[in-house]
Amino acid sequence: MSVPTPSVGQLDVASDLLALLGTTSTEPRPDVQLEALTLSVAADLPVLLWGEPGIGKTAALTQLAESLGLPLTTVIASVHEPSDFSGLPVIGDDPATQGVPMAPPDWAVRLAEAGRGLLFLDELSTAPPAVQAALLRLVLERRIGTLRLPPGVRIVAAANPRASAADGWELSPPLANRFVHLYWTHDHDVVVRGLGGTWPRASLPQLDPGKLADAVAYARRAVCGLLEARPALVHRLPSSETRRGGAWPSPRSWDMTLRLIAFATAAGASREALSLLVRGAVGDGPGLELLAGLDRMDLPDPESVLADPAGAELPERGDLRQAVLDGVVAAVRKRPEKARWDAAWDVLVRAMETGAPDLVVVPATTLASLRQEQWDVPASIEQLAGVVRLSRRADRAADRVAALTQAGR
C-alpha cells in the first residue's frame, strides 16, 4: 500500500502559518528579572538562571540576544566531554620541542572570530562533576584550551533544581561561586501578553557617565563597611551540599557584588533588581545585611536635618524613618545645645505630621531626658505630649492584659 506524498503547496502553507506564529514584537515593560539579568550582562559577570523546566529560561536568553543584537551560541553542558571545554590535544610537528597544543572547539572559534556574542551554557545542573571542573576556567578566565574569548562575549547559564533535573547533580562549590544566581519565575501578565505576540524588551542599562566615579566609591564604601563590621562574612562556605551549589560569600563573590552595586547605581536601577543581584551573588543572609547597610547609607545626615528641620526629607519607610529620628536624638546627646535641642523637637513634630505618630514616642522620651535645667520647654512639645501619653497608656493597658492572662493560667 502506497503512502500518499504530501502536497508541496500544503507544506508551503504550513511554513507560512509557522512563520506567523513565530512573529512577535517587543515593548518596553518593567520586568525586575530582566533588569537584573541585563545589569549582570552589562557588568560582564557570568549569570546562572535557576528555574523549573518550561519556565522560559531559554526563551528569555534567546530574546535577550536578539534585543541586544548579539549572536547566540548555545552549548548543552551535559552532552559534552571535559576536553570540549579544556581543549582537545592536537599533535604538532615536533611534540618534544613544541608541546601538544590544546585546540578549542568550533563554537569557541566562531565566538572569537565574531568578537562578541552571548554564550549560553544550558542544562548546567545535569553536567557531571568532571565537566563542571572543566568549566571553571571557561567561566572565570574565558579560556578554552589556548583560546581566550574576547571581552565582547558574555556568559549566561541555565539550570534546573536537582529535584527536577534529568539525572541532576549539585553544582560544585568552585563553579557555583563564579556565578550570579538568579531564580527565574514566570509572571502571569508577561506570559499572557507574550503569547499574544508582545514580549518585554530587553535593553542594556543606561549608565550615566557623570555618576561613574561616585558609583564606584559608593559601592566600595558599602561592601568594605559591612565586611569591616562583620569579618566572618568575608568567606563563609555553607555546610550543606545544596547550599554550596548556590550563592555564598567569598572574596570573589564580594568583588562581583561590588561591581553589581556600582553598575546598578550608575544606571539608576530599581531597588528590587539590586536586591536580586546582591542576594544572587553572596546569598540571602549576607545580601540582606548589605542591603540594610545601603539603606542606612542613603539616610540624611542628622546634622543636616537639625540645620533645617522644616526642609528635612524624612524616609517613608517606618524603619528608616525611625533610624533618622534616633540619629537626630543621638546627635543632640553628643553635642547638647539649646538650639539643637529645640531643632530636634521640630524634627519630631514634622515626623508626627507626615508619618506614623508612634514612631516619635521613643525619640521624644529620650530627647526630653536630655533637657538641661536652664532650658525653656519649646511650644512644639505640646504637640507631642498627647502622642506620648497615649502610647504610655496603651503600654500600661497591654501590661495589665498580659498580667491577667498570666494569672489565669
**pLDDT for position 269:** 93
Q: What are phi and psi of 212, to 5 degrees?
A: -60, -50
148 is in which domain, residue-wise? Answer: 28-89+102-200
Answer with the one of 264, 297, 330 that is the final residue of a domain: 297
Residues 293 and 271 in one domain: yes
Q: Is there a domain that residue 10 lies in?
A: no
Q: Is there a domain that residue 239 lies in?
A: yes
Q: Is there a domain that residue 171 lies in?
A: yes
Residues 182 and 234 in one domain: no
Residues 190 and 55 in one domain: yes
Q: Is there a domain that residue 138 lies in?
A: yes
Q: Is there a domain that residue 387 lies in?
A: yes
Residues 293 and 307 in one domain: no
**pLDDT for position 116:** 93
Residues 85 and 195 in one domain: yes
CA 104 to chain centroid:
33
Name which of 27, 60, 402 is nearest 198 in CA terms. Answer: 27
Residues 191 and 85 in one domain: yes
Distance CA 318, CA 304 (A): 20
Q: Within 13 Å and on the Cβ side, how many CA atoms surround 66?
A: 12
**pLDDT for position 205:** 87
Q: Is there a domain that residue 120 lies in?
A: yes
Answer with the one of 244, 276, 297 that is the final residue of a domain: 297
Residues 81 and 196 in one domain: yes
Distance CA 44, CA 16 (A): 39
Place of cell 507626615: 354
Distance CA 405, CA 89 (A): 79
Grid coordinates given for 323: 533610624
Q: Within 13 Å and on the Cβ side, how many CA atoms surround 381?
A: 13
Residues 76 and 161 in one domain: yes
Distance CA 309, CA 106 (A): 66
Distance CA 38, CA 232 (A): 31
Alpha-helix runs per DSSP H in 230-300 = 241-244, 251-267, 271-282, 284-297
How far does the chain reach from its first CA to its final CA, in angstroms? 89
Answer with the one of 282, 297, 312 that is the final residue of a domain: 297
Count structural domains, the chain. Answer: 3
Grid coordinates given for 104: 578549542
Q: Is 51 in contact with 40 (CB distance < 8 Å)?
A: no
**pLDDT for position 30:** 82
Residues 56 and 186 in one domain: yes
**pLDDT for position 62:** 84
Residues 36 and 136 in one domain: yes
Tell me the average confidence (pLDDT) per consecutive run of 10 residues in the chain, 409 residues long.
62 90 83 92 94 81 85 88 78 65 83 92 87 88 87 91 67 93 87 85 87 95 91 92 91 97 95 95 94 85 88 84 88 91 88 83 85 80 60 45 54
Q: Give 31-71 pLDDT, tens digit per residue.
A: 899 999 999 999 999 999 998 887 778 888 888 888 888 89
**pLDDT for position 119:** 94
Q: Is 363 in contact with 325 (CB distance < 8 Å)?
A: yes
Residues 272 and 337 in one domain: no
Q: Is there a domain that residue 250 lies in?
A: yes
Residues 63 and 196 in one domain: yes
Q: Is there a domain that residue 263 lies in?
A: yes
CATH no. for residue 51?
A: 3.40.50.300
Place of cell 563590621: 229
